[in-house]
Every structure is written in C-alpha cells, then in structure tokens.
Amino acid sequence: MSGEPSIAFIGVGSNLGDRLANVESAVWALHGSDGIAVEDVSGIYETMPWGGVDQDPYLNAVVKVLTRLSASALLTECQATEAAFGRERDREQRWGPRVLDLDVLLYDDAQIDTPDLVVPHPRLAERAFVLVPLIEVFPGGQLPDGRRLTRCLADLAPIEGIDLFVRMEETPGRQRRARPAGPSGPAAVPADQWVRPQGAPPGTER
C-alpha cells in the first residue's frame, strides 16, 4: 500500500489464564505483525463481564495502531493472533470467557458493514469498558457519525465496575512509564525479545 498509513483502534481483552500476560503479549504481537505499528496503549483496566454470562472479570485495554493493512486484513491479523493464544471461536459461548479478544473498534473514519466486519464496532457506544480506555488513547475523539466519545460515555453514567489495574511499563511507540500504586504484574517483554507464540502461552491452557 502507498500513501499515509491508516489509524485504527483495537480493543484487547482477556479473562482466562494469566490475563495480564495475555494482554501485554497481545500488544507486542500486534506491533510485531507486518504492516502494523502500535503507537499508543491505554491503561489496562479490570472490568466486570458484559452480556449476562457468569464468568470472571476481564482485563481490557485499547491500542492505537498505524497500519497499511486494509480493515479486513487487520481483522484477519487480529483473529490469527487470537488463535495463536488458543482461542477457538467455533467452540466458544457468545459473550463468554476469552483467553484473548481483539476487536477492531475504529478504522480511520470509515463506516464498514460486511458479514465479517462492522466498523465502528456495533456495540462500542454501549460499552463503558471500551470507551474508558479508548478515550485515553483517542482524546477528543468522535465516531464517524459525529458523536463524541465523551458524550457516549456520559450517556452510560454512572460508570461502575471499571478499575485501573496496571499500566504497561514498556510499550511500543511510548517512553517507559512507572506503574501506579496497586497490583503489580510481569513487565512487558521488550520488542527485541518477543517471539510470536505458535500456541497458547503458558498458563492459558483450557
């Protein structure tokens, strides 16, 4: 592809196995993919599950990426990364637990509606656990229809069950930042040491 890369935002979530390792490793996996560069990463938030299925809390984050992939190719790469972490879409319950969930939330100002991909994500404006980290990496952002993200979040008030869990110490495209006081977890793996997994990483076996 020629010209300027597209800007996309990808939601990252996990509530199976080592949730923090899953989220952090997924960020580096995306950054290591051909045609994708992670430019910014939100804090990682612990959130209550959405959709009425009894399951453990999630860790959720949003990454801002620059990509020369089309939206459909970006989705394909996200699904390949999910599969590398052990996700089996054809065997899982809708809105049930996930070892890794990667959703294309926004892609430039495009509005896409195909059998495989809908952008903006069709339930983005209904999910505070997506809007909170999205606003962090897309301040002043709005949806292609002109709705401001902050307005969407305000419409969901009161906001409950979304707590900052940790911030990645080392992220692509961002200088090192200290973790806030609170729970600690393994530091993110430096990019030059990260190897894309061929199967589920340790601790995520079902």
The answer to whether residue 116 is catalytic is no
Residue whose token pair is 């996200």: 78
Residue whose token pair is 């800007």: 7
b/e burial code for range 108-124 (CB count within 10 A of at least 16 → b) = eeeebeeeebebbbeeb
- Among the options 18, 19, 87, 127, which is catalytic? 87
CA distance 138 to 40: 9
The answer to whether residue 103 is catalytic is yes
The backbone torsions φ and ψ at residue 60, rounded to the nearest 5 degrees and listed phi first, read -130, 145
- If DSSP codes are grouped into helix, strand and coil, which group holds residue 9? strand
Please return the burial class of 4, using the count of CB atoms within 10 Å of its CB with bins 0-12, 13-18 and 19+: exposed
- If DSSP codes are grouped into helix, strand and coil, which group holds residue 190? coil
- Among the options 89, 90, 91, 103, which is catalytic? 103
- Among the options 18, 19, 98, 127, which is catalytic? 98
The answer to whether residue 90 is catalytic is no
The answer to whether residue 176 is catalytic is no
- Among the options 34, 68, 90, 101, which is catalytic? 101
Crossing angle for the helix pair 71-84 and 19-31, to the nearest 10 degrees: 140
**Apex 178 CA angle, 173 and 102, nearest 5:** 50
Active site residues: 87, 98, 101, 103
